[in-house]
Amino acid sequence: MTAARRGLDRAGLEGLHTKLGAHVESGAVPGLTALVARGDDVHVEVLGTPASDDRTPLRRDAIFRIASLSKPIGAAATMMLVDDGVMSVADPVDKFLPELADRRVLRSLESPLSDTVPAVRPITVEDLLTFRLGFGSIMAPPGTYPIQNAEAELGLMTLGPPWPPPPFGADEWIARFGTLPLLEQPGSTWRYNTGAQVLSVLIERASGQPLEAFLRERLFGPLGMRDTSFSVQADKLDRFTTAYMPNLETGGLDVLDEPRTGWWSAPAAMGNLAGMLVSTLDDFWAFVSMLLAGGQHNGEQVLSRGAVAEMTRDHLTAAQRAGSPPFLSGNEGWGYCMVAPGPLDGEPPVPWGFGWNGGTGTVWSSDPVRGLTGILLTQRAMNSPEPPSHFVDFWDGAYGAIGV
């Protein structure tokens, strides 16, 4: 197949522009940056403004809160340490996180925290990467179960949105987390989110460096991700967008986080790879491009091909996939801190591949079957795991731009 035949259709891209523009013109999405790529053909859209009350045109290098798109970056950082031989994915985490040794497990989700049994084995590095450590999101209102109340009292911010960030550092966070029992036996069940937050502490301990320093040296620097960080420097605040949360009663948008005085305006006490990075379209595309190239960037092997392969393949059992809704659909699996293609009969759905969504209104997927990558960064937060209409239209437009 020629390079041209692997590219994007111009008429289809015009349709994508129209679909995205409609959401911006209606005010449903104040601004967005989007990228669609197939082979060497890369198309970018920059629409709207940095805030609803700011009519300045949005810039391509606008900075967004990428929320759970932080998670795959955490997986890549972990696998760099595996490549270095510092640890293996099969290793118990106890060596670096003694706070998590000798775990206890709740007898049932309804149990008081004192009603536990011993863990049958230690938590491993791969348990964290695949979100099977035995702790994570509970699909019930806050306060339904005793463990939810205990987590909230400790201020861990791991069973729901990660903001506002806890006022204490990584050592205090893991010490507090270590006082809680697990919800299930390690390796048995998939539960969202907490694995990535624990990885944040593991990377720091295993590397012997502050988390952001390690990321800057090993990942952000080599990939040229100059604007990816856990906070936004003062000289970059003019490019930092305002974040919004939909108001279900009024139908409008309420400010979630303001750039100059918000949660990202100063370094947090703890770097949290579960959902607290900021980035730009081109920064995140550099990260995705590295994965698509088998871990290479500008001829340098940043991450081993084997590490990328493990990150982007499904690791779940059929039972674990069955227990993953509403986060994963029936034909989706889970790789390392991201969705991965699961078992499939017939034509792959749209979108399809490996990637993930961010609760602040960000999305990425790379389709290995059709050779298509899409990245969308917006300021409109999600109300549920169900994709909002601008996500749906983005993917309709992106797949409609696949050339023949």
Give 133-188 as a DSSP string. SS----SS-TTSSHHHHHHHHHT---SS---SPPSS-HHHHHHHHTTSPBSS-TTT
User: pLDDT tens, 349-396?
Assistant: 999 999 999 999 999 999 999 999 999 999 999 988 789 999 999 999
Q: Is the pLDDT of residue 5 over 60?
A: no
pLDDT bin (cut points 50, 70, 90) of residue 18 is very high
pTM for the structure as a whole: 0.97
Per-residue pLDDT, 346: 84
Average pLDDT over residues 200-215: 98
Return the pLDDT at 313.
98
Residues 196-234, buried b or exposed e (16+ Cβ, 10 A)? bbbbbbbbbbbbeeebbebbbebbbebbebebbbbbbee
Please tell me the predicted confidence (pLDDT) of residue 2: 35
The more confident residue out of 236 and 383 is 236
